[in-house]
Amino acid sequence: MTDPILQVEGLRVAFGDAEPVVRDVSFTLTPGRVLALVGESGSGKSVSAMSVLGLLPPQATVSGSARFRGEELIGASAEAVRAVRGAGIGVVFQEPMNSFTPVLSIGTQIAEAVRAHPSGLDRAGVSARVDELLRDAGLTDPERIRKAYPHELSGGQLQRAMIAMALAGDPVALFADEPTTALDVTVQAGILDLLRRLGRERSLAVLLITHDMGVVADVADDLLVLRRGDPVEHGTVADVFAHPTADYTRELLAAVPSLEARPASAAPVADPDARAGEPGSRAQRQLTAPGARGVSPSAETAAVSDEADAGRASPHRHGRPAAGASDRNRRRGPRPLVAQLRDVAVRYSRRGGPTVSGIDLDLHAGETIGLVGESGSGKSTIGRALAGLVPVVAGSVEVDGSDLRTARGRRLRELRSRVGIVFQDPASSLNPRQTIGWSIAEPLLVHGSDSAADRAARVRELLTAVQLDPSWAERFPHELSGGQRQRVAVARALALRPALVIADEPTSALDVTVQAAVLDLLAGLQQEFGFGMLLISHDLAVVRQLADQVIVLRDGRVVERGSTDAVLDDPQQDYTRMLLAAAPVADPVRQAARREAWRAWEGVAS
């Protein structure tokens, strides 16, 4: 067996005089293997990794042992630790847009990393080395990427450039901190494939930090589960997923949203924070036991079917409930139409073609339509069109019975008050200088004539509705966790009692258990208040949990549409099949088959 590159024993980290945030964490990294550090936000995953490289703030106290190739890093001199960074251990950070300097080109920044480790290369040699690293990271146009600035690249391209930078010093180990968070499923699949290939070709020892159990099943060999700084389970991925011994590990696995349709006899798992007696619906969470995770058998069959079948012409769905439509669709009586798009086209610039075109959509009260597709497919643009925030150059956009394109003045303000928006990142959408009570009350102040006392009462009512303590109205956003901030964002979206709620990637940046609670919350609030919801997501499992209808977008056009069960269980288009095959499931055995299916369908769909 290959000797470990990094051995960490009894790691303990504390900040100031507070209780330690990491306690007695031990693990080893071995060339050619991937170890996943898994846990909820605040479990100590990133702190454990960054402490090994001396990247924590000065007030952090680190004890224990971390031996890299036999040399102790804990307590070592700054020069000794600096020599390990980059040349020994490379780091891929979670947010590449925040990690790259916005005013320097990608090539300049990777070249800086190359020069940081003496190699004897001249200017031309450094440039050639940058191109080589970009190609190794899967970027086929290194000359263009090298000259581009961070804002000119997509999220997937930026993450690949970050991996190229991490490889600049020819490290023997790689720390990847949430490398696929907020990336769409196909980009995520490509990044995971890259990490797997690099680990194999370069014999890299990889430490993968993630909260996504599907990612763990896809790429990791070994697994260490952390909870509130304590290790709770350690073993191979196959063993832990098949036979988890810790209750917390079982909870993490049970909280993973499933691509599989719930059997009629299955009951939704209750949210411990949910209000008692809340009525159930299809939109309630449909969590499966750890042994029943993944896509449905029919979707799995479609994903791995013979490539010859992939070339068959398939009829385009037009939104009529198919044979697999949910019981909820069959039971629903007539409900008012809250939003309607007819042949809508949006163009941001005067020149060039439209960003989206030919979009038709009918959304009723109490119904959820999921928009899915890769980044740049036009999902958010359609949401902005319904909110009146982008120039619609063709077609009609009706909200609550009135056309947004022809509304002006007071009527336009009234229509906009009928639309609530839940943005992807509540940390960015909430004013950091104002209390959360002020943020929730702001729509009331802008659109209403309520007194201060009435607004305060409404804020308390909304905080209670999203299961937060009303006394938290005086807190600031930085005093709340990510899941709590997203609950505040939901409360603000509901402040004016909207007919339509647009949820734009509402759970993409949240860990799995917090995501489950937010999905429960949205389902319960829709059941209670009856609004129609447009759910924009790249996570097909989230769409499965909440949506009644699904619209699949590609390059601004509708590829497939229909009931959620019909589209996800029996997709008719190659592109939809490719999206389904790219979505990881929390089952190592099934994920290995899905990985091969994604590679096959990727070629067919392109």
Does residue 320 fall inside a structural domain? no
Q: Give the CA angle between residues 537, 539, 543 to the nearest 5°.
A: 70
Q: Of the residues 196, 229, 256, which one is the last residue of a structural domain?
A: 256
Does residue 463 fall inside a structural domain? yes
Q: If pLDDT is split at 50, 70 and 90, which confidence band does 586 have?
A: confident
- Each residue's pLDDT tens digit, 105-130: 999 999 999 998 877 788 899 999 99
**Lowest-confidence segment of 68-82, 295-309, 440-454 by average pLDDT:** 295-309
- Asked if 582 and 557 sit in the same domain, the reply is no
Tokens of 24: 């007695």
| Residue 227 confidence (pLDDT) | 92
Q: What is the DSSP track for 254-285?
A: HTS--SSPPPTT--PPPPTTSPTTPPP-TTS-
C-beta separation of 369 from 551 below 8 A: yes
Q: Show Cβ contacts of residue 428 under 8 Å, excluding neighbours closer than 6 positions.
A: none
- Asked if 180 and 149 sit in the same domain, the reply is no
pLDDT at 324 over 90: no
- Asked if 541 and 469 sit in the same domain, the reply is yes
- Asked if 578 and 429 sit in the same domain, the reply is no
**Lowest-confidence segment of 354-363, 479-488, 566-575 by average pLDDT:** 479-488
DSSP structural state of residue 316? P
| Residue 321 confidence (pLDDT) | 34
C-beta separation of 538 from 374 below 8 A: yes
Tokens of 567: 């589209």
Does residue 468 fall inside a structural domain? yes
Does residue 38 fall inside a structural domain? yes
pLDDT at 278 over 60: no
Burial class (CB in 10 A: 0-12, 13-18, 19+), 323: exposed
Between 305 and 459, the higher pLDDT residue: 459
Where are the extended beta strands (E) located within 477-602?
A: 500-504, 532-536, 549-554, 557-563
| Residue 276 confidence (pLDDT) | 34
CA 332/CA 320 separation, integer angstroms? 14
CA 580/CA 594 separation, integer angstroms? 9
pLDDT at 495 over 70: yes
- Asked if 602 and 531 sit in the same domain, the reply is no
DSSP structural state of residue 471? G
- Each residue's pLDDT tens digit, 413-430: 888 888 899 987 777 788
Reduced DSSP (H G I as helix, E B as strand, rest coil) percent helix, strand, coil of the chain, to 5: 40, 20, 40
CA 128/CA 456 separation, integer angstroms? 62
pLDDT at 601 over 80: no
DSSP structural state of residue 319? S
| Residue 211 confidence (pLDDT) | 84
The total number of structural domains in the chain stands at 4
**Lowest-confidence segment of 30-44, 365-379, 477-491, 589-603 by average pLDDT:** 589-603
- Asked if 500 and 595 sit in the same domain, the reply is no
CA 279/CA 455 separation, integer angstroms? 28
C-beta separation of 130 from 111 below 8 A: yes
Between 582 and 276, the higher pLDDT residue: 582
pLDDT average, residue stretch 473-492: 86
Count the neighbouring beta carbons within 10 Å of the beta carbon of residue 327: 11
**Lowest-confidence segment of 105-109, 209-213, 551-555 by average pLDDT:** 209-213
Q: If pLDDT is split at 50, 70 and 90, which confidence band does 517 have?
A: confident
pLDDT at 282 over 50: no
Does residue 130 fall inside a structural domain? yes
- Asked if 370 and 298 sit in the same domain, the reply is no
| Residue 332 confidence (pLDDT) | 52
pLDDT at 581 over 80: yes
Q: Show Cβ contacts of residue 98 under 8 Å, excluding neighbours closer than 6 positions.
A: none
Residues above pLDDT 70, as percent of the chain: 86
C-beta separation of 154 from 376 below 8 A: yes
pLDDT at 304 over 90: no
Q: Show Cβ contacts of residue 282 under 8 Å, excluding neighbours closer than 6 positions.
A: 326, 327, 328, 548
- Asked if 374 and 356 sit in the same domain, the reply is yes
pLDDT at 600 over 80: no
pTM, two decimal places:
0.74
Between 408 and 242, the higher pLDDT residue: 242
- Asked if 457 and 432 sit in the same domain, the reply is yes
Radius of gyration over alpha carbons of the chain, in Å?
25
DSSP structural state of residue 347? -
C-beta separation of 559 from 575 below 8 A: yes
Count the neighbouring beta carbons within 10 Å of the beta carbon of residue 349: 9
Residue 379, CB half-sphere, CA atoms under 13 Å: how many? 26
The residue among 145, 590, 567 whose CA lies nearest residue 373 is 567
The residue among 13, 211, 174 whose CA lies nearest residue 93 is 174
pLDDT average, residue stretch 31-48: 90
For residue 486, give the CATH number of its domain: 3.40.50.300
**Lowest-confidence segment of 168-182, 308-322, 364-378 by average pLDDT:** 308-322
Burial class (CB in 10 A: 0-12, 13-18, 19+), 312: exposed
Structural domain containing residue 240: 1-88+172-256
Does residue 566 fall inside a structural domain? no
CA 341/CA 345 separation, integer angstroms? 10
Between 261 and 15, the higher pLDDT residue: 15
- Asked if 178 and 164 sit in the same domain, the reply is no
- Each residue's pLDDT tens digit, 424-453: 777 778 888 999 999 999 988 888 767 888
- Each residue's pLDDT tens digit, 87-98: 899 999 877 777
Tell me the residue type at 345. Answer: A
Q: Give the CA angle between residues 14, 15, 17 to the nearest 5°.
A: 90
How far the first Cα of the chain sits from its last, in Å, is: 41
C-beta separation of 358 from 367 below 8 A: no
The residue among 580, 576, 522 whose CA lies nearest residue 547 is 522
Q: Show Cβ contacts of residue 324 under 8 Å, excluding neighbours closer than 6 positions.
A: 261, 563, 565, 566, 569, 570
CA 494/CA 443 separation, integer angstroms? 9
- Each residue's pLDDT tens digit, 184-207: 788 888 888 888 888 888 899 999
Tokens of 485: 């901030």
CA 532/CA 372 separation, integer angstroms? 17
| Residue 287 confidence (pLDDT) | 29
The residue among 603, 601, 585, 600 whose CA lies nearest residue 218 is 585
Does residue 262 fall inside a structural domain? no
Does residue 276 fall inside a structural domain? no
**Lowest-confidence segment of 55-59, 227-231, 388-392 by average pLDDT:** 388-392
- Asked if 522 and 418 sit in the same domain, the reply is yes
| Residue 605 confidence (pLDDT) | 56
* Average pLDDT in the chain: 82
Tokens of 27: 């693990």
| Residue 178 confidence (pLDDT) | 86
- For helices 247-254 and 512-529, give the axis angle rounded to 10 degrees: 50
pLDDT average, residue stretch 323-335: 49
- Quick one: residue 389, left, alpha or beta (phi over 0 = left, psi -120 to 50 = alpha)? alpha
pLDDT at 268 over 50: no
CA 218/CA 594 separation, integer angstroms? 9
pLDDT average, residue stretch 404-410: 81
Q: If pLDDT is split at 50, 70 and 90, which confidence band does 40 have?
A: confident
The residue among 154, 144, 149, 198 whose CA lies nearest residue 176 is 198
| Residue 604 confidence (pLDDT) | 57
| Residue 132 confidence (pLDDT) | 92
Tokens of 507: 């759970």
- Asked if 515 and 389 sit in the same domain, the reply is yes
| Residue 230 confidence (pLDDT) | 94
Where are the extended beta strands (E) located within 318-440?
A: 337-346, 356-364, 368-372, 392-399, 402-403, 419-422
Q: Show Cβ contacts of residue 212 under 8 Å, excluding neighbours closer than 6 positions.
A: 180, 181, 512, 584
